[in-house]
Structure 1
């Protein structure tokens, strides 16, 4: 074998190493995206694990009186059957307000005075007109009496033939004219007296009095204000004070029209005032206003207190429970009964019954002892106190002691 042939054979036996870098480049081209994808997945999993879960909560609550007898509930506001804006009957400038807000007043008590100078001038003039009309009437009466006597004498003379028939007719005509003047004077005196009465009434209207016993709830005007009873513009429509009878309070509750068939006059109720949440006040349905609010599809039901509670005021928020039958006095107080939570808030696991309490945005598992079930709720003979927030329908896989959570807005 020649040297050239030997070189050719050796060349054929050599390994071609130029293909190896190409394969490595191809492997790296797939490994780098895969590694990046894996890193992203790991980061996402870590973020999901660290994400703060959102929970829906409800408050542990004390039971309300009469819950078992409640037919339906409605919200409303306290109002008074006698509530008026006191305004003058005439226009004028306010010179004195004699009452203040919160002050009790009696019927007929002076509450304000208007400037009465014009009214007094009108009354003085009316008094003068009455005096003048009285004087004219006196003169007319004297003339009528004299005419009557003259007529009688003339008639006697006419019967004797001492005066002619024409003279008698003239005297009788003059007598009738005098009588008409007397009647006119009487009418003028009556008109003058009526004008005097009107002037006196106008003067009396400058003094504003309380139309009923009540309490001044608002002061609407101060001295110097010019008031007009029928004013249609401006911030003051003629009112001086608002007067409310606090002994005639009632609740105006709004009830949807489809529920009206469940309400009747005289039906027993329980009234809960937002300002006095610890108490329930018995009442009854007074009437249902015969009108429907189109925009809300509701009717107003007037509910009266059996005894108006001390501290109740107009415009207080109220809730009304319409009962199937009256409650005995001993059942008006629900204190001492075990608190309640939604049944879905209680978890049952190997450790026993418990609820997840939310405090300062962190979870705490608290054991409970469950009593009876009432509708969608259960009573707790042992557990958190009323007002505590607990998780509704908790997910055991996502919750643990000490974990931070977010409370769902409007939850519970």
Structure 2
């Protein structure tokens, strides 16, 4: 009986020791968590807190003279634009379709598109064969008039001698008085013929000069220096400035442009024209070169308005010449304040 009681007692659970062991384990876990939190806080304070003074001293460094110097060297701001934009085209103030003053067949054309010409340079010539034949005829008439004058001069000199001799004979009653009258009449006639011959020679000389001028008009010359932008006629065609053109008849030989006279013509709304003044700075941009800003200025404001479009034309002149600027290019201008 005693042995069984001892065995049963050995199998029973000791409830006084269990709380003690579990209590020790819970305390240990809580302690570890607290220690871990303290270590983490210490690490964060060590690595994070020292960076705060550096951030706080950053404004002090920027306020020093060495760091403030770049601010004084900053480029000046670009001029503001008034916001007024207008579109137009590049035009030439001096442009002409060159022609002859007479009608004739073209013999030579001495220029092509893009040829640079000077003032008075020959652009083309017309056939002047008939004009030169007429000049030869007039020159012959002039020579004949000169020869006739010489003949009359000799005849007049002889007639004067005869008249003088007749007067001497009549004075000595040797010769009749009728001879004196006849010789005087001969002198007067030859004097009148000589005056007429001299007038004829002067007229012939004027006609020769006129014909030479006509021959010169068969030559087409450049009225000003520029560049040929169009060749309007070919060899063998008829040139007639008074004609309407078409077929083999041309009204001009070539179109000449003075590149130094290029400018921009734009139309500004009449409600905004008060923001534009002569001499105002302008920034021009060509559609062909959109990134190229061309300095320019307002040359003139045309003192009339377009009733149908309610616009006023403004002429804008370039401040500098450039070979990239060509006639009839589309352009856009911005008026600068």
Q: Same fold (TM over 0.5)?
A: yes
Q: 2:119 aligns with which of 102, 107, 110?
A: 107
> Which one has the largest radius of gyration?
2
Whole-angstrom CA distance in 2 between matches of 1:75 and 1:203: 47
Counterpart of 1:241 (choices 249, 254, 273) is 254
Q: Pairwise mapping of residues 293-372 of structure 1 onto structure 2 (< 5 A)?
A: 293-324=306-337
Which of 263, 274, 278 pairs up with 1:250? Answer: 263
Which of residues 179, 183, 193 is equivalent to 1:181? 193
Looking at structure 1, the residues matched to 270 and 159 of structure 2 have their Cα atoms a distance apart, in angstroms, of: 81
Partner of 1:24: none
Match of 2:7 in 1: none
Residue pair 1:78, 1:249 contacting (<8 A) in 2 also = yes
For the pair 1:141 / 2:183, whether they are aligned, the reply is no
Q: What is the Cα deviation at residue 303 of structure 1?
A: 1.9
Aligned 8 A contact 2:160 2:183 in 1:
no
- Residues 141 and 182 in structure 1, CA contact (< 8 A), matched pair in contact too: yes
Q: Where do 1:123-142 residues align within 5 Å? A: 123-142=135-154
Change (3 A) 1:269 1:154: farther
- Cross-structure match for 1:279: 292
- Provide the alpha-carbon RMSD of the alignment: 2.7
Following superposition, which runs of at least 4 residues in structure 1 exceed 6 angstroms of deviation?
none
- Alignment partner of 2:102: what SS? coil
With structure 1 as the length reference, what TM-score do the two structures score? 0.57
Q: Distance in 1 between matches of 2:227 and 2:114?
A: 6
Deviations 1:176-207 (A, max 9, x none): 22222112111111111122122222222222
Which one of the candidate residues 80, 95, 108 is aligned to 1:68? 80
User: Could you say if the C-alpha distance between residues 239 and 162 of structure 1 is closer, same or farther in structure 2, counting changes exceeding 3 Å?
Assistant: same
1:181-220 to 2 correspondences below 5 Å = 181-220=193-232
SS at match of 2:259: coil
Query: For the residues of structure 2 that align with 1:189 and 1:322, how far apart are their CA atoms?
Result: 68
Deviation at 1:248, TM superposition (A): 2.1
Summarize deviations over 1:236-256 as a string: whole Å, max 9, x none. Answer: 651111111222211122234
Q: Deviations over 1:67-98 (max 9, x none)?
A: 72337332221112221111112111112212
CA distance in 1, matches of 2:172, 2:263: 89
Deviation at 1:114, TM superposition (A): 1.5
Gap runs ≥5 in structure 2: 1-76
CA contact (8 A) 2:106 2:235 kept: yes
When normalised by structure 2's length, the TM-score is: 0.68
Q: Quick one: structure 1 residues 319 and 145, their matched pair in 2 at CA, closer, same or farther if it must change by over 3 Å?
A: farther
Compute the displacement of 1:274 (Å). Answer: 1.4
Contact 2:102 2:240 in 1 (8 A): yes
Q: SS of the counterpart of 1:96?
A: strand
Per-residue CA distance 1:285-325 (angstroms, 9 max, x = gap): 3333444444334343222111122311111111223334x
Aligned to 2:14: none
CA contact (8 A) 2:233 2:250 kept: no
